[in-house]
Amino acid sequence: MSVREHDLGEIRDAVAKLCAAFPMDYWRETDRERRYPTEFVRALTEAGWLSCLIPEEYGGAGLKLAAAAAILEEIQKSGANGAACHAQMYTMGTVLRHCSEAQKKKYLPGIAKGELRLQAFGITEPTAGTDTSAIRTAAVRKGDRYVVNGQKVWTSRAEHSDLMLLLARTTPREQVQKKTEGLSVFIVEMKAALGRGLTIRPIRTMINHATTEIFIDSLEVPAENLVGEEGKGFRYILDGMNAERILIGAECIGDAKWFLAKATAYAGERKVFGRAIGQNQGVQFPIARAYMATEAAALMVERAAALYDAGKPCGPESNMAKQLAAEASWQAGDTCLQTHGGFGFAEEYDVERKFRETRLYQIAPISTNLVLCYLAEHVLGLPRSY
């Protein structure tokens, strides 16, 4: 069932009310200081929004991905930045579908209560990029433990997470028939690992994203922390990746709606040559076009979420949802900045911050080019190009 068919009004209203307690000067300050929005994340946790996907038997709300998408969309629509905590939602795709019952009982109640944070997704590596099958981080079984060596990059929120889902090779690439085989997923307890084989180095970027590089040197991970079967991890993380793309798409829709509201209000108020600039078609038309793109992308996000919630294949839809929504948010952001003129570059208007934040999703969590390659090959049947 799609978001529009669901009655999510109460959820949206409650999230909007919570976000209103964190005005724009709060986000300007955290951005300026490159500070993690601890207070905001705590408020979302205490309200139960970050545990919305966790089943009720483990202390969560047991909601569907469509509800999580509505929550994140509302956060972005308010002018906040859900990137500080969205991983706790999209990692649930892997955890809920592939973790053992013992693992769920061990970790999910703590996550639901806010005692544990699952905010880190250790996938990308410096030499592999979007070619996940080419990762070099290796995990070797030694008795009741795996010894892991390697490196990860763009692992956001690692410094603020208690748990990390880590993808590593358990069988060398040259020893498998398909390059996506031989990959395994592990749950890493971050605090126990720090200083015992795990090192985290923050990476300063153009946005306040709390992203890091991780170095892994003979880190011991209990064998009981292996998710599912050894060597089947690539399939497991796809559930997390599809959820991630859908939820990022929802965030982009929220960003786009924020930009559109901001641009529309300013165009109606700002007067040049004795009249509101919004009277000019040169100002109206770009805003109207961005609105159309946003509404169209929102439909694809809803469709992808509905397929995911129904347990149906949704790879193409998830990729299209993320890409179309990212393009719509960037179009709306560029239009909003253009509408504001010079004032759009001023920190106090918040446009420049959101402009920087939404630009990320043109390349993350998957690049535009790889989305197009995927659709060309797997949907349209064209020859593989990479």
- Could you give the CA distance from residue 261 to residue 264 in angstroms, rounded to a whole number? 5
Residue 354: which residues within 8 A CB-CB, separation 6 or more? 79, 255, 258, 259, 333
d(CA 187, CA 192): 12
Catalytic residue among 244, 251, 317, 357: 244
Q: Which of 355, 327, 334, 238 is nearest to 287 (CA)?
A: 334
For helices 233-269 and 65-77, angle between their N-to-C axes, nearest 10 degrees: 40
- Collapse the DSSP code of 227 into the 3-class scheme (helix H, G, I; strand E, B; otherwise coil) and give the result: strand
DSSP string, 131-190: -GGG---EEEEETTEEEEEEEEES-TTGGG-SEEEEEEESS-GGGSSSTTSSEEEEEEEH
Active site residue 244: yes
CB 203 within 8 A of CB 213: yes
Q: Where are the beta strands (DSSP E) in 237-384?
A: 271-272, 275-276
Of 122, 99, 53, 121, nearest to 236 by C-alpha is 99
What residues are labeled active site?
Answer: 244
